[in-house]
């Protein structure tokens, strides 16, 4: 928070971020259109991971329902694209289902600005509603997580069941243009990639601010001891609601970008499995660090795509192995490897290999004094 004291170390970190941002912006010079499109998709996933890290990594609340917030954003954008592609006529799948005119709730999505706003607002309001009933009643831990899963099941069931309004299992696809620009053209794709990079950086800076502010400290305090926070005078429920809502809004933004790169959204892309996968990205990248969460999403998806093309039969085993290795050896994720603080550095080594590690860890006396 104290920007006046920029130490050498901070300068290095800032430099590294600038290099990373420059590399992301210049990626179109290196990658083929296909690869660039993949990377753009992964960057959208990185945005969800950032939002998920706010609620899970920093506040300690595990949401297994972020696929839904992501999906609602995606559907909002998909509905706009579908309407633009249909050129004033009824979207094809509605006709197949026997609808005669556009349902009322589709109307706002004819406007790009309204669609974008709703793509953020709908997930945010849904999260606010769920948060209002759970956090205020002190439903937390595994019970909250189960409720988010219930939300996933309800939403996907609704999307599949209401085929005439939502496109059912097939989802919404068949887009042509965005604001008049062809989505298939490499130029548009490149611009959309840059937009995604810019949004990712913007959200990263926002999250950085949130987690670095005193608000962020209260969130971490809630993670450490919600009751204690209450007896200091903060109302944890309000903080939890706010951060859950922000997290869902970020997922919605990511979903909108995802649809622009992928060209389809269907219930299977926001169900239980994708929701859990999102949590895995954060866990493997390193929860509680923003860069870890973002990198986790990109690396995991990159690995998934590489492994699945190289080893079409065995790739799932590789992914499983990666997950096991990360959980067993890297409790703080990949980002934990880079926290070169003396007392942590050698933790992952077996005891005999740590050598003088004990000396460095004098600060860790926890448990050596009998409590009470």
Site residues for another protein per CB under 8 A: 1-2, 210, 213-215, 217-218, 220-221, 223-225, 227-236, 238-239, 242, 363-366, 369-372
Tokens 């210049």 belong to which residue? Answer: 26
The alpha carbon of 125 is separated from its chain's Cα centroid by a whole number of angstroms, namely: 17
DSSP label of 60: -
Backbone angles phi, psi at 104, to 5 degrees: -55, -40
Bridge partners for 177 per DSSP:
182
Alpha helices in the chain (DSSP H): 8-30, 33-53, 66-86, 92-96, 112-135, 142-161, 163-166, 186-212, 214-232, 236-262, 272-285, 290-310, 315-329, 333-336, 342-345, 357-360
- The residue among 100 and 365 lying less far from another protein, judged by its C-beta, is 365
> At closest approach, how far in Å is the CB of 127 from another protein?
15
> At closest approach, how far in Å is the CB of 70 from another protein?
24
Note whether 270 and 156 are within 8 A (CB): yes
* Spatial separation of the C-alpha atoms in residues 196 and 209, rounded to whole Å: 20
> At closest approach, how far in Å is the CB of 220 from another protein?
6
- The residue among 136 and 354 lying less far from another protein, judged by its C-beta, is 136
- The residue among 24 and 229 lying less far from another protein, judged by its C-beta, is 229
> At closest approach, how far in Å is the CB of 219 from another protein?
9
- The residue among 22 and 232 lying less far from another protein, judged by its C-beta, is 232
* Spatial separation of the C-alpha atoms in residues 49 and 291, rounded to whole Å: 10
- The residue among 242 and 264 lying less far from another protein, judged by its C-beta, is 242
- The residue among 313 and 366 lying less far from another protein, judged by its C-beta, is 366
In the structure encoding, which two tokens stand for residue 200, read together?
A: 């990712």
- The residue among 89 and 217 lying less far from another protein, judged by its C-beta, is 217
> At closest approach, how far in Å is the CB of 367 from another protein?
10
> At closest approach, how far in Å is the CB of 213 from another protein?
6
Using CA atoms of 236, 238, 239, 241 in order, give the dihedral in degrees to the nearest 10: 120
> At closest approach, how far in Å is the CB of 204 from another protein?
18
Phi-psi region of 111 (alpha: psi -120 to 50; beta: other; left: phi over 0): beta
Tokens 């509905």 belong to which residue? Answer: 79
In the structure encoding, which two tokens stand for residue 51, read together?
A: 């939002």
Residues near 88 by beta carbon (within 8 Å), at least 6 away in sequence: none
How would you class 180 by CB atoms within 10 Å of its CB: exposed for 0-12, middle for 13-18, buried for 19 or more? exposed
* Helix 236-262 / helix 66-86 crossing angle, nearest 10 deg: 40
- The residue among 168 and 286 lying less far from another protein, judged by its C-beta, is 286
* Spatial separation of the C-alpha atoms in residues 336 and 345, rounded to whole Å: 9
> At closest approach, how far in Å is the CB of 196 from another protein?
27
> At closest approach, how far in Å is the CB of 328 from another protein?
22
> At closest approach, how far in Å is the CB of 239 from another protein?
6
- The residue among 201 and 221 lying less far from another protein, judged by its C-beta, is 221
- The residue among 136 and 304 lying less far from another protein, judged by its C-beta, is 136
């Amino acid at each position: 928070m104290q920007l006046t004291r920029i130490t050498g170390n901070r300068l290095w970190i800032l430099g590294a971020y600038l290099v990373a941002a420059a590399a992301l912006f210049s990626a179109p010079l290196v990658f083929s259109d296909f690869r660039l499109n993949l990377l753009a998709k992964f960057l959208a996933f990185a945005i969800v991971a950032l939002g998920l890290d706010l609620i899970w990594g920093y506040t300690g609340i595990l949401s297994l329902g972020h696929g839904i917030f992501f999906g609602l954003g995606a559907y909002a954008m998909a509905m706009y694209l579908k309407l633009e592609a249909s050129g004033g006529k009824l979207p094809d799948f509605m006709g197949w289902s026997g609808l005669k005119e556009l349902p009322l709730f589709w109307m706002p999505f004819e406007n790009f600005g309204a669609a974008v706003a709703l793509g953020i607002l709908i997930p945010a309001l849904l999260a606010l509603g769920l948060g209002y009933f759970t956090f205020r009643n002190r439903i937390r831990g595994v019970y909250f997580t189960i409720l988010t899963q219930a939300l996933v099941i309800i939403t996907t069931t609704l999307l599949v069941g209401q085929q005439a309004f939502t496109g059912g299992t097939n989802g919404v696809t068949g887009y042509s243009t965005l604001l008049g620009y062809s989505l298939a053209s490499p130029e548009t794709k490149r611009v959309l990639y840059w937009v995604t990079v810019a949004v990712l950086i913007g959200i990263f800076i926002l999250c950085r601010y949130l987690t670095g502010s005193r608000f962020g400290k209260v969130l971490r305090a809630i993670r450490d001891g919600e009751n204690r926070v209450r007896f200091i005078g903060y109302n944890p429920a309000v903080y939890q609601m706010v951060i859950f809502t922000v997290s869902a809004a970020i997922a919605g933004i990511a979903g909108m970008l995802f649809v622009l790169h992928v060209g389809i959204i269907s219930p299977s892309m926001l169900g239980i499995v994708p929701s859990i996968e999102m949590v895995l990205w954060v866990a493997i990248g390193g929860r509680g660090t923003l860069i870890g969460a973002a990198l986790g999403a990109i690396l995991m998806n990159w690995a998934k795509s590489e492994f699945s093309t190289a080893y079409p039969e065995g790739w799932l085993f590789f992914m499983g192995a990666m997950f096991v290795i990360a959980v067993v050896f890297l409790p703080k994720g990949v980002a934990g490897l880079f926290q070169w603080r003396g007392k942590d550095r050698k933790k992952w080594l077996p005891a005999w290999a740590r050598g003088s590690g004990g000396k460095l860890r004098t600060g860790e006396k926890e448990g050596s004094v009998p409590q009470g």
